[in-house]
Structures are given as C-alpha cells and as structure tokens.
Amino acid sequence: MPTPITCVADLRDLARKRVPRAFFDYDDRGSYEEVTLRDNRAVFDRIHLRQRVMIDVDRRDLTTEVIGQPLSVPLAIAPTGLTGLTHGSGEILAARAAAAAGIPFCLSTMSICSVEQVAAAVKDPFWFQIYVMRDRGFTRSLITRAREAGCSALMVTADLQIQGQRHREIKNGMTVPPKLTMRNLVDILGKPRWVSGVLSAPSRSFGNLAGQIDGADGLTTLAQWIGNQFDPRLTWDDIGWIRDLWPGKLILKGIMEPDDARSAVKAGVDAIVVSNHGGRQLDGAVASAYALPRVVDAVGNDIEVLFDGGIQTGQALLKSLALGARAGLIGKAFLYGLGAMGQEGVTRVIEILRRELDVSMALTGNTSVRALDRSILLDERGEPWLPLRPTA
C-alpha cells in the first residue's frame, strides 16, 4: 500500500525516485558547501510561533493582492530553469496548476517550453522572468515576446551576473555543455515514465532560445551560448532601460540588502523579491528570512516585498508573512510535486501549503493573512524574535 502524501517532504521523496538523479539534484541542491541552502530552511526552525487561545478564528481569510493581482493564498510559483526536464511539459503543467489554484506562475527564460507554448496552453496570463544578457538585442526581443504573449508581469533576476559553482551538477554532468555519462544513461533508462513524458512534450531544449540564436539550436550548443551570456556589467541603468521597454508590472528578484531595496524603489519597479537564489549562488549569504525584515523596514510601504527561500511548509510561509512579505514564492517545493506526480503533484503542494498556513494561522489567533505581523514570532526561549539575533 503506497505511503499517504501528507507533506511536501513526502513529494520530495517520491520525486527522488521518479526523476533522473541529474535533474533531481539540479532542482534540489545548491552552490559550493550549501551552507546558505541549508540555512534558508533551518532559520525557520529557529523562529517559533506564539500560540493563542480563546479567540474566535472561525472565519479565516487567506486572500491577498500582489501587484494588483488577486491571490487565493499569498503564494506564487517561482521561475525555475529546465522545469520541463523535471517532468515533460513541466512549465505548462505547473502554469495550469497555479491558474486553477488562483496564484501566479512565473516562467523562466531558461524554461524548456517557450513563452509562446505556455501562452497557447493556458488561459490565464502568467509572469515571465528574464536575465539581462550581454546580447541586449536578444534581451529586448524576449521582452517583446513576453509582451506579445500577454504576460502580466516581468520579473528581472539580479543575482546571476556570474554563476556560482554547484558541485553536484558537475558530478552529475549538468555542465555547460551537458555531459551524458554512463551513470546518467543507466539512471534515465530506469525511469520509463519520465522518458515517456519528456519525449511527448512540445519541447526538449531551451524553448525560449531555440531557433533564435545563429549556429545554436540543440540543448548543448544553446547551453554553451547561455554560459557566455550572463553579464557582470549589470547595473541599475539596465533596470531603467527595461522599465522603458516594459509597460506592465515590473518585479526585481534577488534583493538581500536594504540599500539595494531602496535603489529598487528609486528605479521604479513595482515589487522586489527578497531572495538569495535558493542558496544556488553566493554560498555564505545569510538566509533570506534573516534579510527579509531588514528590507521591509528599509522600504516601508514604498514597494511590495515578496519572499523566496526555504518555503516548504505552511508554517514557513506564515513566518515569512509575519516578517513582512506580501507573498511567498516556491521553487523547490513545486518542483518536488511536479517530479512526483506532474500537474497533480503541483496542485497537492499548493493545497498542502494552503492547509498548513490556514491551520497555523488559526492556532496563532489570526484570521487574515493581511493582518499578520512580527508579534506572533518568538525565539527558542519564548522571547520576541529579533532579526539576526544570535542563537543560544
């Protein structure tokens, strides 16, 4: 009898069995010694909740609004590269699950299904994530394509000017260009369900790049092109350039410091995402949850603040909202669901987080996600939780 799925961790265990090791590790692991990767989740274990009783919590409201878009729950699906190799048509399946749940889906530039393929497969507008590449002409063309596809927001990733090394990817052959090893081949052949899904998908290469780059069309040649395109010259002037090209809502992802948050306000973006790239870039950076309250305090009500990093339970989502985030983004969590059960798995992840958030909010004596604040947070000793306070 199969083990019941009760939490996101159960879906992670199932995805590990169903997704080839190289692609599972790509989703699951971080850079260098993975200190920041671990801290992103561990910090939530050090933040405790204030339990309240004898408060009427019969009617609870999980709805909110982000950049003018109503959300059924303060959650969005983060942009992740190669999603269509976690499960065939992965971007389309995740976008459909998000739309059905009433939350945003953000498509990555490095997706397998293209922005046009996703737009043709789903009815609801979605967000599009973009990297500012050395080839500014190609960046401009991607912005135009996102606009023509009806994307409702553009998310610029700021923290990948230079790619951090991920040891596990190199060991698994997930390099630029990718290397097919005998170990990988045997692993893939042992996952016929995964193979069938990928082979039947509308795309198996970088969908947003295929056919757009002279002399590069396959996964290997496109990966080589991408490896040379991340631009260390990225500055705030580029955000102004994008603001001129993009008439809709603009989100900047990768903010960890108050000074950068204030600069984002001056640059005219509509929202920022406090994120350390899921521990996949600067190893040794503080956990996103430690950075969040400092950023929120720095910008006040001048800009909407979203959060990314370590949300795999409803309790973690609750804590990030209490720290000041308008909503949380999930990357690894939805990929576990996708790898485990396709669209149904993504739906299960959203439902699990929604249910855990709802129950935990009630047990802290709260009835609205929009009214949460730091007063519900405690440290290990039951004292009010303070940002960056050393643990005992």
**Which residues have a catalytic role annotated?**
277
Residues 6+ positions from 286 with CB-CB distance below 8 Å: 36, 39, 256, 276, 388
Among all chains, which residue has been given the structure tokens 């720290």? 323
Classify residue 45 by burial, with Cβ atoms within 10 Å: 0-12, 13-18, 19+. Answer: exposed
Region of residue 284 (left: phi > 0; alpha: psi -120 to 50; beta: else): left
Q: How many CB atoms lie within 10 A of CB 125?
A: 17
